[in-house]
Amino acid sequence: MQAKVKQPHQNQRMPMGAPSRMGGGGKHEAGKSAAAAPALVGIITMKPPIVVRLLADLLKRKPFELIRDLMELGVFANVNQAIEEPTAQRLCAKYGFRFELERRKSGGGLVHGPIKPKDLDPDDKPEELKPRAPVVTIMGHVDHGKTTLLDVIRKANVAASEAGGITQHIGAYTISIPHPERPKDLQQITFLDTPGHAAFSAMRARGAHVTDIVVLVVAANDGVMPQTEEAISHARAAKVPIIVAVNKCDHPAANSMAVRQRLQALGLAPEEWGGSTIFQDVSALQKKGIDKLLEMILLQAEMMELKANPNRPAKGNVIESGLAPGGPTATVLVRKGTLKVGDVVLCGPFWGKARALINEEGKRLQSVGPSVAVKLLGLNGVPVAGVEFSVPEDEKSARDMAEKRAEELRTSSVEDRPKTSLEDLLDKLNPDGAKILKVVVKADTQGSVEAITEELKKIDSDKVSLEIAHYAVGIISESDVNLAAASKAVILGFHTRIDAEAVDAAKRHGVQIKLYSIIYELIDEVRLAMAGLLDPIIKEVSLGSAEVKQVFNLSKGGNAAGCMVVNGRVIKGRCRILRRKDRIYEGVITTLRRFQDEVPEVRSGLECGIRVDGFGDFQIGDLVECYQAEKIAQKL
């Protein structure tokens, strides 16, 4: 808050009718009326807001004096409240000051939102930019033929080796094809294959954000599905163009026109109908329309004029990461610059020298340019999929930055830990409190770990809570078993194996280890396990009832009831005695006779003799109701 008091100029005229302070009647007149102000002492200027306390400081007055003056003017405000400009002028005039409000500069007080930075560094001059290959993401609903389409494109059968025929991880593949208008000119396209199940939505979002074009695969026989709409949302969030591949056009139930109509309703109007979205009918199985689809991708990329500077240190994103026998691996997509073997790479809280760059065919490369994806070896840890990597100036700066980031992560993880209170401890001691299922998650890749943990967090239940004690990439080790034993957790392994020492430790500690190859089975079994922690609901099922017709005194003591079964059946077991609809006793039928024979049950309309353990005070008209208690498993 800037405010100042200026002395009046020597030639400045006094307000008309303002008596001089040298005169004896000035003070009396000022007290008599605020309108008859004292001689002008100075000018007070303030920027809005005009706070009472700040104004009192400038006037060299106590704040309560100004509050009293304000009350005389009919304004009620405390020391921290702001007043209007005319009110401030009248207050200042009373004490011989002229008040002026310092105006803000036009637009000076506006808060501008952050401008989205372009994907160019300041040192990337226009003349240094060279055309680059488009990065294309395949998206769509599960089982709509994404993997088969990629098989045809890159001449490799991924689905045969995947459990359940479903893609499990993001992969990156680069192909070279002739340009449609210049057959001798080979053009490259890099594909990111993202899994189709909703569990991998976070991975799919990452795939969309590092991509240039999205190919949306929609089956002509199934049409638009929920995950198709989800893929459209991801593509729109990343602000990338969408090319629709209408697959399975050779299917007897195919209806590509219905697909177009539905997608037009979702805002993807086909070009042939006057819209801006490219639609291409294809059949991955029959290998029809694939060449035309690739042509459309190249033409779309030409219109986008994709460029990058290859002559600079590399920058890009991690597409997938994992832990191999040789150490941590990361599949990286270079966005700009050139990544070379021997470069120092900084990736999140990890760093290292690029020992090897391996492409999708297993070939070792010495360098890769923009829009190319390779497997990078040499990092000192497994980075999170989606994180940005860069090539710093030297090894020391990379190490320092990685250590700083690791420290920030440790600090944030400590701050995010839930605080334990006495109430929480009492809830845990309460046997009727919420049940907790603790799990340790291990998988072969970072993407799988993230997908599983995100899906597990979606299991919502008021009765049972799920707590992930630990999750990481790699094989299930003895330390995982020890952690699970200490926290009373179950170990869930996905596409991974168990260390020999871990097997012995699990037997010794009684820790359960479950291995899975398909994510749906893992999630479903966890949900069932959580439901199994709940105490079963006890439900009483009435079997039948018998009316007491006569009471017999037994020679051995006690009484037996001669009864007629009025409905259902009566068996040995639990029963209750009802008298005029009031329950007077609950017990067990110990003896059930038909004539002189002991029988297991008596059905409706037949007579029988009943003896109830611990009860003999039968009266004619009492009802003996027989029932069973059934345990029903609770659901989440």
Residue 267 has pLDDT above 50, yes or no: yes
What are the tens digits of pLDDT across the range 318-368? 888 888 888 898 889 898 999 999 999 999 899 999 999 988 777 889 999
Q: Tell me, yes or no, whether 428 and 389 share the same domain.
A: no
Mean local confidence (pLDDT), 12-38: 41
Q: Tell me, yes or no, whether 497 and 547 share the same domain.
A: no
Mean local confidence (pLDDT), 497-509: 89
Residue 21 has pLDDT above 80, yes or no: no
Collapsing DSSP to helix, strand or coil, 481 comes out as: helix
**Residue 112 belongs to a domain:** no
Domain boundary among the residues 274, 307, 340 is at 307
What is the pLDDT, as a whole number, of residue 110? 35
Mean local confidence (pLDDT), 580-604: 91
Mean local confidence (pLDDT), 590-604: 92
Confidence bin at 626 (pLDDT 50/70/90): very high
Handedness of CA 280, 281, 286, 292 (dihedral sign): negative
**Residue 263 belongs to a domain:** yes
**Residue 68 belongs to a domain:** yes
Q: How many helical (H) and strand (E) elements, i.e. helices and strands, does the chain have?
A: 15, 34
Q: How many Cα atoms are found within 13 Å in the side-chain-facing hemisphere of 514?
A: 16
What is the pLDDT, as a whole number, of residue 610? 95
What is the pLDDT, as a whole number, of residue 517? 86
Q: Tell me, yes or no, whether 151 and 207 share the same domain.
A: yes
Residue 14 has pLDDT above 90, yes or no: no
Q: Tell me, yes or no, whether 159 and 56 share the same domain.
A: no
Q: Tell me, yes or no, whether 196 and 300 share the same domain.
A: yes
What is the pLDDT, as a whole number, of residue 598? 92
**pLDDT > 70: percent of the chain:** 81
What is the pLDDT, as a whole number, of residue 62? 86
What are the tens digits of pLDDT across the range 109-151? 333 333 333 344 556 788 888 999 999 888 887 777 777 888 8
What is the pLDDT, as a whole number, of residue 106? 43
Average the pLDDT over each of 28-42, 321-335, 366-380 and give the range with the smallest value: 28-42
Mean local confidence (pLDDT), 533-546: 84
Q: Tell me, yes or no, whether 402 and 432 share the same domain.
A: no
As a whole number of angstroms, the distance between CA 171 and CA 102 comes to 62
What is the pLDDT, as a whole number, of residue 629? 84
When the pLDDT of each residue in the chain is averaged and rounded to a whole number, the result is 79
Angle between helices 519-532 and 446-457 (to 10 degrees): 40
What are the tens digits of pLDDT across the range 382-436? 888 778 899 998 888 889 999 998 888 777 655 555 544 555 544 554 555 567 8
Average the pLDDT over each of 169-178, 228-237, 591-600 and give the range with the smallest value: 169-178
What is the pLDDT, as a whole number, of residue 5? 57
Mean local confidence (pLDDT), 195-221: 67
Q: Tell me, yes or no, whether 26 and 88 share the same domain.
A: yes
Q: In terms of pLDDT, which residue wins out, 577 or 238?
A: 577
**Residue 221 belongs to a domain:** yes
Mean local confidence (pLDDT), 297-326: 87
What are the tens digits of pLDDT across the range 542-555? 999 999 999 998 88
**Residue 115 belongs to a domain:** no
**Residue 157 belongs to a domain:** yes
Q: In terms of pLDDT, which residue wins out, 177 or 307?
A: 307
What is the pLDDT, as a whole number, of residue 207? 55
Q: In terms of pLDDT, which residue wins out, 223 or 123?
A: 223
**Residue 108 belongs to a domain:** no
As a whole number of angstroms, the distance between CA 339 and CA 354 comes to 9
Residue 175 has pLDDT above 70, yes or no: yes
Tell me how many domains the chain contains. Answer: 5
Give, for 207, the enclosing helix (H) or strand (E): helix 201-209
CATH number at residue 515: 3.40.50.10050
Q: Tell me, yes or no, whether 300 and 219 share the same domain.
A: yes
Q: Tell me, yes or no, whether 301 and 153 share the same domain.
A: yes
Strand partners of residue 357: 365, 376
Confidence bin at 369 (pLDDT 50/70/90): very high
Domain boundary among the residues 532, 547, 571 is at 532
Question: What is the span of the domain harbouring residue 555?
Answer: 537-632
Other Cβ atoms less than 10 A from the Cβ of 371: the count is: 25
Q: Tell me, yes or no, whether 8 and 86 share the same domain.
A: yes
What is the pLDDT, as a whole number, of residue 266? 86
Q: Tell me, yes or no, whether 355 and 298 share the same domain.
A: no
What is the pLDDT, as a whole number, of residue 550? 94
CA angle, 395 then 398 then 399, to 5°: 85
**Residue 328 belongs to a domain:** yes
Domain boundary among the residues 368, 387, 414 is at 414
Q: Provide the token pair at 559.
A: 């009484």
What is the pLDDT, as a whole number, of residue 23? 39
CATH number at residue 253: 3.40.50.300
As a whole number of angstroms, the distance between CA 167 and CA 199 comes to 12
Concatenated DSSP letters for 548-604?
EEEEEE-TTSSEEEEEEEEEEEEESEEEEEEETTEEEEEEEEEEEEETTEE-SEEET
Q: Tell me, yes or no, whether 301 and 250 share the same domain.
A: yes
